[in-house]
């Protein structure tokens, strides 16, 4: 069983992050390859349109989310190319590619942890081939480890995916592996080399609709699992500290975009997490777009009512005034 050296996604401007993670890798003598991340702000409108739908790029996606998603897809593609360039054999289900974001924290005992992971995968391949064949991506951390375990958000995001049963054999495996529909974390994961084409095809056919970690969890034909223990951790603990969204826009706009993303995530989850499994057939993302259109329509009605002199429930007028004033003052600086 083979797991590649890490391929690390890093924006050219994120010098401090690169310094931190490269030091962590050097301390444990871990070879690595740096992958220059795609900055969503530098993408042309044609490039953005190619990988998104009109509604999502207009209402719910930021340049940061688009750039992050494309960076992960391209890092996976590049990692496979590097493996094939140095191997005399084609991609197989015994080869895994390790992808890290530059906020990953390399915990002590990395080599021992990876050896245990390889042992687990080898045992599953030989003794439980059905479970092994379902595994396409394995996140090397507990899901939503950046959230308090007692929070409602954490409880919702860690509802297991009913399509994939938990893989746990305490007498034979070091770790257990669980699939979740909405679990968030893309800091560190391994991708089965033979599954790369399926993952890249997902981008081409389904587009980018939300954060890449949520997107892959919602994909019906991609088996995404999490280890029950954190092998590689993350230093990011909230959305405002994410790569290139923080300090880019006024705080009111950041929170507004974040709120719209939560609404988009809710509509996507309802469509693909509830309606699709219940209906028993594959839905298109245009259905999710319809949910977003409905949400936008409700907001427009509320705004018209405000302009006509009706009094919407407090504190909406104050929130709207604050949003406008904050944005004007920010761009006047």
| CA quadruple 314, 319, 52, 296: dihedral sign | positive
Residues of CATH 3.90.550 domain(s) within the chain?
Answer: 2-241
pLDDT tens, position by position, 91-133: 889 999 999 999 899 999 999 999 999 999 999 999 999 999 9
User: How far from the centroid of its chain's Cα atoms is residue 11's Cα?
Assistant: 17
For the ranges 163-177, 208-222, 311-325, the maximum mean pLDDT occurs at 163-177
Residue 274's pLDDT band (boundaries 50, 70, 90)? low
Phi/psi at 151 (nearest 5 deg)? -75, 155
For the ranges 122-136, 149-163, 305-319, the maximum mean pLDDT occurs at 122-136
- What are residue 225's DSSP bridge partners? 138
Contact 80, 86 (CB under 8 A): no
Contact 170, 120 (CB under 8 A): no
Give, for 215, the enclosing helix (H) or strand (E): helix 212-218
pTM of the full structure: 0.72
Tally Cβ neighbours within 10 Å of residue 202: 17
Helix (H, G, I), strand (E, B) or coil at 115: helix
Helix (H, G, I), strand (E, B) or coil at 61: coil
Look at domain 2-241 and name its CATH class.
Answer: alpha beta
- What are residue 276's DSSP bridge partners? none
| CA quadruple 112, 114, 118, 120: dihedral sign | positive
CA distances from 259 to 60, 166, 180, 239 (A): 9, 32, 22, 11
The structure tokens listed for 189 are 């994961």
Residue 244's pLDDT is what?
Answer: 41
Q: Extract the runs of DSSP E, i.e. beta strands, from the chain.
A: 2-3, 7-10, 33-36, 95-101, 104-106, 137-139, 177-178, 188-192, 224-227, 232-234
DSSP secondary structure letters along 157-203? HTPBPTTS--B--TTT-SS-EE-BSS----SEEEEEGGGHHHHHHHH
Q: Whose CA is closest to 174, among 224, 111, 132, 113?
A: 113
pLDDT tens, position by position, 36-80: 999 988 989 899 888 887 777 776 778 888 999 999 999 999 999
Peptide bond into 154 cis (omega under 30): no
**Residue 160: is its pLDDT beyond 60?**
yes
Q: Report which of residues 294 and 20 the model is more confident about.
A: 20
């Amino acid at each position: 069983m083979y797991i590649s050296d890490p391929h690390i996604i890093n924006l050219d401007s994120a010098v401090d992050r690169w310094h931190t993670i490269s030091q962590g890798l050097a301390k444990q003598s871990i070879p690595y390859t740096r992958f220059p991340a795609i900055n969503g702000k530098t993408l042309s409108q044609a490039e953005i349109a190619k990988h998104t739908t009109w509604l999502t790029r207009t209402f719910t996606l930021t340049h940061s989310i688009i750039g992050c998603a494309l960076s992960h897809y391209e890092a996976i593609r590049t990692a496979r190319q590097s493996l094939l360039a140095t191997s005399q054999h084609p991609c197989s289900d015994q080869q895994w590619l390790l992808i890290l974001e530059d906020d990953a924290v390399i915990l002590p005992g990395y080599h021992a942890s990876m050896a245990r992971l390889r042992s687990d995968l080898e045992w599953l391949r030989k003794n439980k081939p059905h479970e092994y064949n379902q595994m396409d991506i394995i996140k090397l951390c507990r899901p939503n480890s950046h959230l308090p375990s007692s929070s409602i958000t954490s409880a919702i995001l860690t509802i297991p995916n009913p399509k994939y049963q938990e893989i746990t054999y305490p007498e034979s495996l070091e770790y257990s592996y669980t699939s979740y529909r909405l679990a968030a974390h893309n800091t560190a994961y391994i991708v089965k080399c033979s599954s790369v084409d399926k993952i890249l095809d997902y981008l081409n056919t389904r587009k980018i609709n939300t954060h890449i970690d949520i997107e892959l969890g919602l994909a019906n034909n991609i088996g995404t699992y999490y280890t029950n223990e954190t092998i590689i951790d993350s230093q990011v603990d909230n959305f405002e500290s994410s790569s290139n969204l923080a300090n880019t826009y006024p705080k009111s706009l950041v929170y507004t975009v974040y709120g719209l993303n939560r609404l988009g995530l809710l509509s996507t989850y309802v469509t693909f997490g509830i309606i699709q499994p219940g209906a028993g057939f594959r839905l298109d993302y245009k259905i999710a777009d319809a949910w977003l259109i409905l949400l936008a329509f409700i907001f427009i009605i509320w705004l018209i009512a405000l302009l006509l002199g009706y009094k919407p429930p407090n504190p909406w007028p104050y929130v709207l005034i604050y949003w406008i004033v904050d944005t004007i003052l920010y761009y006047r600086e």
